[in-house]
Structure 1
């Protein structure tokens, strides 16, 4: 089977699993938004471990996709996470998908289709060296520290940091995947161990950062995660792993157009928040009948009788 088709299929299933995990995280974050929920308390929550299991399953599928497709192909398909999360979130909230959300989904899919044409290529065969991996990790850690510094309000900055952490973890994962499946070298080399530790750190950091970001809702934070993730991974793929777009200048223009459409679609998908969705109209109850006026009984007036005159006056 074509390696590109395998990478796309694995990415699709991975995106659905990531979407389900994001919806579960958002619902958990909404329940703990007004409480002082620490990490220790989250570790004792079944919903938290359910979202972790979904994220782990999605990550394994993503790792497999990176074995068959380059970063410039697999990472943009992460936008399908938002596409899948919209109907899932709407169903969990007991509402219907709006017209704006359907338009956003269509634009996102069209943009991703254009990116698939230009980003499809052979299976990756290049890896990062240990100095390159450490340099990427140090730069990423510094950027995450700036975005999620103490006192920053949970929201888009934490979501951006989460997306960057996840994108870098994916780029490092591709290095481990290619190195492990390369039969010419040892299975567990020093590079594989070092990069695997970096992957674990960035993957855990991205998960915790997204949990913090979802306290402000699902739409906008998930959009920032979805957009910053492929950008971070693509920068590493193009600058350090020698990945290129197909089709020369025409391919670059098509990729730019696809990226613009996908970004527009993602922004549309974040425009409708649960508060903007009109509540179902309740049937109007009939106006209550006016209460009858209290019955008043009017008695006929009786003329007053004159008082009898005093006895002295009667005698005179």
Structure 2
């Protein structure tokens, strides 16, 4: 089978696994009291199911990086948002909104255009030790500038999270290709050990930075994280790994148009994902005749009207917190 088709197929399944994990953790958060400790979560099968889905998505993403270039695999991470739309709507007992449909169509059209212009050969080049150290130093300098002390949580931290996650994916590709293709050098070397340490540091850093970014709200930061990730990875692929767009200079036109469409689609999907979860029919029946209370903003989210008893209000408030959708950005790149 063609390497490009393998990479696309693995990326699709990876995105579906990440989306299913996000929805599972979101539902678990909605059923869990705020005072519930981590140890009690460890005893729940739903939590371990979400962990397994995230782990499966990560392994599939790493496998996709073996068969496809960064300019192909990383943008496909946006499909996690696309897959989360029907899954999240079904879990919330509602229909997919018009905004979500628009975001889905634009994202798919944009990614389709990018697929036509991205390089189609399996990656063979890897970063040297000097290049890996240079990429690591440059990334840390950029992140330090974006997340300097005193900076309010928000888009700067989201950009830093997306950049570190994208760099982690680029380094992961070097590690994967070097381990599976022995023509790139010895299996055990200072280069691979350094790259592995950088992957771990940047992957964890991306997660922590995203958690900080979401304190100021979810919609815009989620979009920035999703978009900064493939941009950072593609920049490394084009500058250091010999990746090229098909069609040369002429290929820039559909690539830019596809990027613009995908960006708009991701923004629409991120706004939709940031909205409060809908009240299911069962909860609405239970809440019938009860007082309608105005809800206070949660983690920077806009004010909303909450229907139901105090316990139901707590569940709805918890479901709208940013951490309910954080798994969307937990990727080896990652996503």
TM-score for the superposition, normalised by structure 2:
0.73
Would the alpha carbon gap of residues 146 and 122 (structure 1) be closer, same or farther in structure 2, given more than 3 Å must change?
same
Take 1:57 and 1:216, find their aligned partners in 2: how far apart are those partners?
Answer: 30
Q: Following TM superposition, by how much is the alpha carbon of 1:217 offset from its aligned partner in structure 2, in angstroms?
A: 5.4
Deviating more after overlay: 9-18 vs 110-119: 9-18
2:72 aligns with 73
2:158 aligns with 159
Residues 1:186 and 2:186 are matched in the alignment: yes
Would the alpha carbon gap of residues 29 and 164 (structure 1) be closer, same or farther in structure 2, given more than 3 Å must change?
farther
Q: Secondary structure at the match of 2:182?
A: coil
Q: Is the 8 A contact 2:81 2:270 kept in 1?
A: no
Q: Following TM superposition, by how much is the alpha carbon of 1:120 offset from its aligned partner in structure 2, in angstroms?
A: 3.5
Q: Following TM superposition, by how much is the alpha carbon of 1:195 offset from its aligned partner in structure 2, in angstroms?
A: 0.3
1:207 aligns with 207
1:83 aligns with 82
Q: Following TM superposition, by how much is the alpha carbon of 1:180 offset from its aligned partner in structure 2, in angstroms?
A: 1.3
Q: Following TM superposition, by how much is the alpha carbon of 1:261 offset from its aligned partner in structure 2, in angstroms?
A: 0.8
Take 1:58 and 1:236, find their aligned partners in 2: how far apart are those partners?
Answer: 23
Q: Is the 8 A contact 1:29 1:212 kept in 2?
A: no
Q: Following TM superposition, by how much is the alpha carbon of 1:137 offset from its aligned partner in structure 2, in angstroms?
A: 1.1
Superposition pairs of residues 70-219 of structure 1, within 5 angstroms: 70-184=69-183, 185-215=185-215, 218-219=218-219
Would the alpha carbon gap of residues 23 and 155 (structure 1) be closer, same or farther in structure 2, given more than 3 Å must change?
farther
TM-score for the superposition, normalised by structure 1:
0.77
Q: Secondary structure at the match of 1:270?
A: helix
Q: Is the 8 A contact 1:25 1:214 kept in 2?
A: no
Number of positions where the alignment pairs a residue of Structure 1 with one of Structure 2: 280
2:59 aligns with 60
Q: Is the 8 A contact 1:30 1:217 kept in 2?
A: no
Take 1:90 and 1:199, find their aligned partners in 2: how far apart are those partners?
Answer: 34
Q: Which runs of 5+ in 2 are unaligned?
A: 290-335
Take 1:93 and 1:118, find their aligned partners in 2: how far apart are those partners?
Answer: 37
Deviating more after overlay: 129-138 vs 86-95: 86-95
1:274 aligns with 275
Residues 14-47 of structure 1, C-alpha deviations (whole Å, 9 max, x = no match): 1122223444566678899x88x9xxx6587437
Take 1:164 and 1:183, find their aligned partners in 2: how far apart are those partners?
Answer: 29
Q: Is the 8 A contact 2:27 2:91 kept in 1?
A: no
Would the alpha carbon gap of residues 278 and 21 (structure 1) be closer, same or farther in structure 2, given more than 3 Å must change?
closer
Q: Following TM superposition, by how much is the alpha carbon of 1:247 offset from its aligned partner in structure 2, in angstroms?
A: 0.9
Q: Following TM superposition, by how much is the alpha carbon of 1:252 offset from its aligned partner in structure 2, in angstroms?
A: 1.2
Deviating more after overlay: 5-14 vs 49-58: 49-58
Q: Is the 8 A contact 1:162 1:207 kept in 2?
A: yes
1:5 aligns with 5
Q: Following TM superposition, by how much is the alpha carbon of 1:68 offset from its aligned partner in structure 2, in angstroms?
A: 0.6
Q: Is the 8 A contact 1:14 1:61 kept in 2?
A: yes
Q: Following TM superposition, by how much is the alpha carbon of 1:56 offset from its aligned partner in structure 2, in angstroms?
A: 2.7
Would the alpha carbon gap of residues 229 and 26 (structure 1) be closer, same or farther in structure 2, given more than 3 Å must change?
farther
Residues 237-268 of structure 1, C-alpha deviations (whole Å, 9 max, x = no match): 11111111001222111111111111111122
